[in-house]
Chains A and B, each alone.
Chain A
Amino acid sequence: MIFYTQRAIKDILENRFLNVVTTITIALSVLIVSAFGLFFLNAQDMFNAWKKGVRIMVYLAPGTSEAQRLDTRFRLQTIAGIQSIRFISKDDALKLMKERMQRQTSLLDNLRENPLPDAFEVTLVTESNSPEKIEFLAQRIEGLPSVSEVEYGQQWIDRFANFFNLFKLAGYGMGAMFFMATVFIAANTIRLVLYSRREEIHIMRLVGATDNFIKFPFFLEGLIQGLSGGLIGLGMLYAAFSAIGSQFEQTLSAEMVAVRFFSVGVCAAILGGGMVTGLLGCFFSLKQFMKE
């Protein structure tokens, strides 16, 4: 086995140019597809975190009395699907706003009257996180007395979820296309290698080599190319990830979402995919070539 691997490597080096082309093709495809996958993975993380934190802000009409407020709170408590209710007085809201906008506080200081409304922050139990449920709950809350406005990111989440699914589908489609294109390119470059070695293959046949004996080293070469292509592609992605990801992380850290790379298992699967690509390329070119 070691011997055959050595010979395969020697053969790869002999046909350096074509093999480099194959390896780079595989590497680029792995890079593009897995970059997309990585982006998707992190976007999904973020989306999930966002979805989990769905809140409904219930703004009370100006001039709501404390009794009315307590009544509203009580009514909110009776609605199923609500996990917690937190009162945010308009003073608290202003203080929070001032904290967030440290530089521009003078602007707020000049306000004679607090323009913000009192509000309840309502979080939902996880089962109520579906778009329809949120919509339903929001409508019920809006119908309560003293409630002036209900705000929730639902339209956004809806739209985003749709977009996300589309994105996912496009990702699969793109992955499949890249896979086929790569197999096709690999098959063609391997065919050129076969063509350049047809005399050798012919001689091997004349001295009694079976097809499998002849094919084996080519499959080994395809495997090595796929593996090295996968490693190169994944390595490039990781380098890019390390460079970009750390900056990204800083801006996102406020949101409590960590940017992450693929797990070891997924990396292995990607390398496996590279190897399958190399093997399939060999398979198709050999199938055609050996008939002649």
Chain B
Amino acid sequence: MTSMAEKSAVIRMFHVHKRYGAKQALVDATLDIAKNEFLFISGPSGAGKSTLLKLLYLAEPVSEGQILVDGMNLSRIPRRRIPLLRRKFGIIFQDYKLIPSRTVYENVALVLEVRGKKRSLIEKKVKSVLRVVGMEDRLTAYPPSLSGGEQQRVAVARAVAGDPKIILADEPTGSLDDESAAVIFELLNMFYNRGATVVVATHDKTLIENATGRVLQIRQGRLETPPDI
């Protein structure tokens, strides 16, 4: 039973602590995320959801503990191989992180370029993901000229464009109306059904109520399982 779980875990965290100076953002977090799991991480603002995700793609180093991602031990990974780790993920950043000086098209194409994809394939792929999120007619727009929701949809398109194994979505529907949010969730579900692992961090109660997968609570940096209903 345990060995099965170990084998199928794509992300494993062991007693992970994260401190920002004196601030304890994450305390003794131990967690397995199975391959092809749809996991919600919920909790109030400032609980440490974004921090937990950032540790996974090495935007921040852990203060203590160990993290394994797809068999890679993050504390042992040499600097030059960090890009390989990051390409396993498709990341929807809470603050979108779109490059303001590049067009919508270029922003999405970037994740395919870094993976060394062919130009013709990139064009097809970028257009198709932007069509799914309903941004296909804004290819040449620059992010600052887009509304918050539009930027978020571009961010989602970029996260899924590279066909990642794992999708990390930090508040992916924060700026969206229910209808657009539903589209995004359909998209995440589609990738989940194709075998991707999806981790969604959100404080949106309605999202969690409708969740089909596991829901993890995080409060003041501590992971807790919600009481069974």
Interface residues of A (CB under 8 A from B): 3, 14, 197, 199-200, 203-211, 213
Contact = CB atoms under 8 A, between A and B. Distances in A.
A207 B101 contact: no
17 contacts: A199-B99, A200-B99, A200-B101, A205-B83, A205-B86, A206-B91, A206-B93, A207-B86, A207-B110, A207-B111, A207-B158, A208-B84, A208-B86, A208-B89, A209-B83, A210-B80, A213-B114
Nearest to A207: B111
A203 B97 contact: yes
A210 B114 contact: yes
Q: Which 3 A-B pairs have the closest CB atoms?
A: A208-B87, A208-B86, A209-B114
Interface of B: 57, 59, 80, 83-84, 86-87, 89, 91, 93, 97-102, 110-111, 113-115, 119, 158, 162
Given A209-B110, A210-B83, 6 more contacts: A197-B101, A204-B99, A207-B110, A207-B111, A210-B80, A213-B114
A278 B158 CA distance: 33
Contacts of B86: 205-208
Contacts of B57: 206
Contact of B114 (A3, A14, A200, A207): A207
Contacts of A205: 83, 86
A208 B115 contact: yes
A203 B100 CA distance: 11
Given A204-B110, A206-B57, A211 B97 contact: no
A3 B59 CA distance: 30
A205 B99 CA distance: 12
Contacts of B84: 208
A29 B101 CA distance: 32
A213 B110 CA distance: 11
Contacts, number: 48
Contacts of A200: 99-102
A208 B101 contact: no
Nearest to A196: B101
Nearest to B119: A3
Contacts of B114: 204, 207-210, 213
A211 B78 CA distance: 13
Given A200-B101, A203-B97, A203-B99, A208 B119 contact: no
A58 to B, nearest CB: 78
B166 to A, nearest CB: 12
A197 B99 CA distance: 9
Given A204-B114, A206-B86, A208-B111, A14 B59 contact: no
A6 to B, nearest CB: 12
A211 B110 CA distance: 14
Contacts of A213: 83, 113-114
Given A207-B114, A210-B114, A14 B87 contact: no
Contacts of B162: 208
B80 A14 contact: no
B91 A14 contact: no
Contacts of B97: 203, 206
A152 to B, nearest CB: 70
Which of A14, A209, A213 counts the most B-chain CB atoms under 10 A from its CB? A209
Contacts of A207: 86, 91, 110-111, 114, 158
Nearest to A291: B79
Contacts of A199: 99-100
Contacts of B101: 14, 197, 200
A141 to B, nearest CB: 76
A284 to B, nearest CB: 20
Nearest to B93: A206
A3 B122 CA distance: 13
Contacts of A209: 83, 110, 114
Contacts of B113: 213
A57 to B, nearest CB: 75
B119 to A, nearest CB: 7
Nearest to A209: B114
A213 B114 CA distance: 7
Contacts of B83: 205, 208-210, 213
A97 to B, nearest CB: 77
A106 B162 CA distance: 98
